[in-house]
Amino acid sequence: MPDTTHSPQITLQKTRIRGGVWEGMLVAEAMGAYTPQIEVTHLGAPVEGVEVVADGEMDKVWTVRVPIPAKLLSEGVQTFVISDGKTSTTLDTFTIVTGEPLEDDIRAEVDLLRAELDMLKKAFRRHCLEVLGH
C-alpha cells in the first residue's frame, strides 16, 4: 500500500482560455515545501511549453499555463490531459472541437441517450399507471 501521509491534496481549476493558452489555478494542501510537477499530454504525447508560476501573494497556489499548439489542432475533437507528474493523477482535462460537427461526437451521443431515457421514463410511467389502474 502506497504511503499517502506526505502526498498533498492537489486541485486544479480552469480559469480561462485566452490567446491559445489554457490557464488554471493549482492549489496544494501540503505540509512543508511542495513544488508542483505538471505534465500535459495530447494523444499520449507531451505538450511542450507548460508553465507553472507561483502566486506571489498566496502560499501553495500556482498559475498553470498550457499553450495549445496550432499543429495539434485538426478536424474533430482534441483532448488534453493535465496530470500531476509525481503521482500520474489526472488533475483536469480540456477539449477543443474544430471543423464540422461530428455525428459520433460524444456530446451528440449523450444528447441522444438523454432523449432515449426520457422516452423510457414516459413509457415506464404510462405502464405503471396502466397496471395500477387495472
End-to-end CA distance of the chain: 58
* Structure confidence at residue 94 (pLDDT): 94
- Structure confidence by residue, pLDDT tens digits, 57-101: 778 899 999 999 999 998 888 899 999 998 889 999 999 988 766
Of 19 and 100, the structure prediction assigns the larger pLDDT to 19
Taking alpha carbons only, the member of 86, 45, 84, 52 closest to residue 66 is 52
pTM of the model: 0.68
d(CA 32, CA 131): 64
Confidence of residue 3 (pLDDT cuts 50, 70, 90): very low
Residue that is written with C-alpha cell 471543423 in the block: 99
DSSP code of 56? S
* Structure confidence at residue 6 (pLDDT): 54
* Structure confidence at residue 75 (pLDDT): 84
* Structure confidence at residue 126 (pLDDT): 85
- Is residue 133 scored above 90 in pLDDT? no
Are β-strands 76-84 and 90-98 bridged in parallel, bridged antiparallel, or unpaired? antiparallel
Taking alpha carbons only, the member of 66, 51, 53 closest to residue 21 is 66
* Structure confidence at residue 93 (pLDDT): 93
| Average pLDDT estimate for 37-58 | 91
Of 111 and 6, the structure prediction assigns the larger pLDDT to 111
d(CA 22, CA 89): 19
- Average pLDDT of every residue of the chain: 85
